């Protein structure tokens, strides 16, 4: 007998078919889902929304993922690396404006000079902020030694998106070689946990060949890994990538957007106390995309602090918003958006995952 949306939402645990049903919900039923996830969010993480000032450090990348605009094989991209002074200036802005935390993101590299430079930058940011700025890194697969070096320098959160949890689908979105190994990526997530990071991951939603069954498996993957934080959003094609050839076979952008909102809402119900980001890709499709994500379950937002002269060169996908806003414009805009969504900004707070804190306590026991 088929369960109704209300019956599923009243359960303490979702099986895969329950998740598939929720992901397939029509407009009326998805509103029931969104109401329930908003209630769960307020009960377990509250209305507080935490800033992660985003610095897109470099678009140099050693990988060739088929969906990404900064892939090594894209010769149309102007490559850059932000200077140390510019990064410290952005960090100082975040500190003085009580952002609480930074995210430093780049293409995937593991050369010694890069590894050493990131360790130095993290140390200098911690010193500049008297240890007050929390630091999240998102720089792909690295060795355990590198992860530990960056952790010891002061980084304490790391985002490594799996992009898709199905290893067969993974092969459709990446070259089949040693640089793009699904199981190496899984191992990196385990290494991050071992070193002591709060571990984040995420997926793209609405990829070619992907089904709601795959997305249900992605959510179960997050739960089984006991992840601390998630950043996920709609897949948006980029014309200088191999996956662009499938653009006419994709769900409409509106469908991808609402599927992404459902993913955020279902995950909030499944993993009540983790951190979930309202990603920029949501706003790339819907002008109020990030606000809508906050309403249904997200509690993290990332104001872009990358100097505007570099932003057009860090295009992972097309139609990326806020390319011409400076840090002050972005700050004022996001403040208004968060209040519009009924949230309060956690100024000066790291906003660490409550889930992580509980998990660490359990590990000590």
Sketch the domain layout of the chain as residue ranges: 5-364
Evaluate if residue 323 carries a pLDDT over 60.
no
Please give the average per-residue pLDDT across 154-158, as a whole number: 98
Instruction: Supply the mean pLDDT for the chain.
Output: 93
pLDDT tens digits, 191-228: 999 999 999 999 999 999 999 999 999 999 999 999 99
Least confident range from 59-73, 148-162, 299-313: namely 299-313
pLDDT at residue 322, as a whole number: 61
pLDDT at residue 192, as a whole number: 98
pLDDT at residue 340, as a whole number: 80
Least confident range from 149-153, 268-272, 359-363: namely 359-363
Q: Which residue has the higher pLDDT, 327 or 137?
A: 137
Label each residue of the chain as H, E or C. CCCCHHHHHCCCCCCHHHHHHHHCCCHHHHHHHHHHHHHHHHHHCCCEEEECEEEEEECCCCCCCCCCCCCCCCCCCCCCECCHHHHHHHHHHHHHCCCCEEEEEECCCCCHHHHHHHHHHHHHHHHHCCCCCEEEEECCCCCHHHHHHHHHHCCCEEECCCECCCHHHHHHHCCCCCCCCHHHHHHHHHHHHHHCCEEEECEEECCCCCCHHHHHHHHHHHHHHCCCEECCEECCCCCCCHHHHHHHHCCCHHHHHHHHHHHHHHHHHHCCCCEEECCHHHHHHCCCHHHHHHHHCCCEECCECCCHHHHCCCCCCCCCCCCCCCHHHHHHHHHHHHHHCCCEECCCCCCCCHHHHHHHHHHHC
pLDDT at residue 329, as a whole number: 66
pLDDT at residue 320, as a whole number: 63
pLDDT at residue 250, as a whole number: 97
Which CATH number fits the domain 5-364, given the four candidates 3.50.50.60, 1.10.2020.10, 3.20.20.70, 3.30.1490.190? 3.20.20.70
pLDDT tens digits, 236-255: 999 999 999 999 999 999 99
């Amino acid at each position: 007998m088929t369960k109704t949306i209300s019956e599923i939402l009243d359960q303490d645990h979702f099986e895969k078919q329950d998740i598939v049903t929720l992901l397939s919900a029509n407009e009326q039923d998805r509103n029931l889902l969104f109401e329930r996830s908003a209630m769960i969010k307020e009960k377990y993480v509250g209305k507080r929304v935490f800033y992660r000032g985003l610095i897109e450090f470099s678009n140099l990348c050693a990988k060739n993922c088929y969906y990404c605009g900064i892939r090594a094989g894209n010769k149309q991209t102007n490559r850059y690396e932000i200077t140390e002074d510019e990064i410290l200036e952005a960090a100082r802005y975040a500190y003085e404006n009580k952002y609480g935390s930074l995210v430093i993101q780049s293409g995937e590299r593991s050369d010694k000079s890069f590894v050493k430079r990131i360790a130095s930058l993290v140390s200098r940011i911690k010193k500049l902020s008297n240890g007050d700025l929390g630091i999240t890194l998102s720089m792909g697969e690295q060795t355990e030694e590198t992860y530990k070096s960056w952790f010891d320098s002061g980084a304490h959160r790391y985002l490594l998106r799996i992009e898709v949890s199905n290893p067969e689908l993974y092969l459709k979105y990446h070259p089949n070689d040693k640089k793009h190994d699904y199981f190496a990526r899984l191992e990196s997530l385990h290494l991050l946990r071992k070193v002591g990071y709060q571990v984040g991951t995420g997926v793209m939603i609405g990829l070619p060949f992907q089904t709601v069954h795959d997305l249900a498996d992605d959510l179960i993957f997050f739960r089984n890994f006991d992840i601390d934080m998630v950043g996920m959003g709609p897949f948006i094609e980029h014309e200088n990538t191999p996956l662009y050839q499938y653009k006419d076979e994709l769900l409409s952008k509106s469908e991808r957007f609402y599927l992404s909102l459902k993913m955020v809402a279902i995950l909030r119900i499944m993993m009540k106390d983790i951190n979930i980001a309202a990603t920029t890709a949501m706003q790339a499709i819907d002008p109020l995309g990030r606000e809508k994500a906050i309403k249904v379950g997200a509690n993290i937002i990332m104001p872009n602090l990358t100097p505007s002269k570099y932003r057009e060169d860090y295009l992972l996908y097309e139609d990326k918003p806020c390319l011409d806003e400076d840090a002050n414009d972005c700050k004022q805009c996001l403040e208004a958006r968060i209040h519009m969504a009924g949230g309060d900004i956690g100024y000066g707070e790291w906003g660490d995952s409550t889930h992580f804190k509980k998990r660490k306590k359990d590990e000590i026991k």
